[in-house]
Amino acid sequence: MYHHIKKLMYTVNVGTPDPRFGNMLLEQFGGANGELAAAMQYSVQGLNCEDPERKDLLMDIGTEELSHLEVVGTLARMHLKPLKHKNGNAAADDPLIAIAGGGGVSLSNSMGDAWTADYLKITGELDVDLRSNIAAEARAKIVYERLLNYCDDPGSKDALQFLMTREITHMKAFKLALESLGKNPFSIGKIPPTPGLVNQYFDDSTGVGDQGEQNARGPWNQGGDWEIVESPALAQGVENFESSHGKGAEGESRATTRNRKTA
């Protein structure tokens, strides 16, 4: 059950309205990384969740995102207010909002593209969904940071700073919820990966680039169980590589030249 209280989660004050900035704010109202998408994603995940404790987390944060949507919408509406009046110069800044939207907010992003449920990442697997949520909060944080860089109004910046900070709060909560499941971070679903193949790193970006880029080595492709496989696609094609994989020394020699494990 939802109940609307006629008070913003964070009070919004705008000194000088800026319709162009108001348009930018729509990215966090009806955009791919915006508050509506976050609210719907977490709430639907919560409805699907059979874990009562994590369900509570998802519903708590999904509901808070609706409050954030109200803050962003109010902030955007205040900046777009000049477009509600017969001000030719202001309307020229964004005729789509001035004419089609009457100078108010709508479920679209800063480019006028309509909000879509395709923005939502919902799999029905709790650990997978929590990973998606961590990434969603990270993307939203960056959008708020960029909005702050384009904002000169002190009151607007205060509200954006609040919203940006809450993204980190939610990221922390989702991360800890994921860790509390006690699962191996690479244990996704129930079907295990193919042994051996799962530890092979395909060196598919080779040579020296136009800017002098060279092949790189790091913990993502060396040490531990990693095995470097030198450009299997160039050696004989992925299909042939896959068909000959796992046939012992003979199959290995047909597949490609390999560098064995490196320390």
Contact 28, 34 (CB under 8 A): yes
Which one is catalytic: 27, 35, 64, 70?
35
203 backbone dihedrals φ, ψ, rounded to 5°: -85, 75
Cα gap 215→231, rounded to integer Å: 12
Q: Which residues pair with 228 in a beta bridge?
A: 201, 259
Which one is catalytic: 64, 79, 170, 245?
170
Please list, residue by residue across 76-109, b when 16 or more beta carbons sit within 10 angstroms of its beta carbon and e when fewer do: bbbbbbbbbeeeeebbebbeebbeebebebbebb
* SS3 of residue 141 by DSSP: helix
Q: Has 179 been annotated as catalytic?
A: no
Which one is catalytic: 64, 65, 79, 245?
65
Which one is catalytic: 27, 64, 70, 137?
137
Cα gap 225→10, rounded to integer Å: 49
Task: State the CB neighbour count (10 A cutoff) for residue 150.
Answer: 11
Q: Has 65 been annotated as catalytic?
A: yes
Q: Has 35 been annotated as catalytic?
A: yes
How far is Cα of residue 204 from the mean position of the Cα atoms in its chain? 26
CA distances from 139 to 40, 109, 145 (A): 16, 15, 10
Contacts of 259 (CB under 8 A, 6+ apart): 227, 228, 229, 230
Q: Has 170 been annotated as catalytic?
A: yes
Q: Has 68 been annotated as catalytic?
A: yes
Query: What is the 8-class DSSP label of residue 246?
Result: T
Which one is catalytic: 27, 64, 70, 167?
167
Which one is catalytic: 68, 70, 79, 245?
68
Annotated active-site positions, please?
35, 65, 68, 137, 167, 170
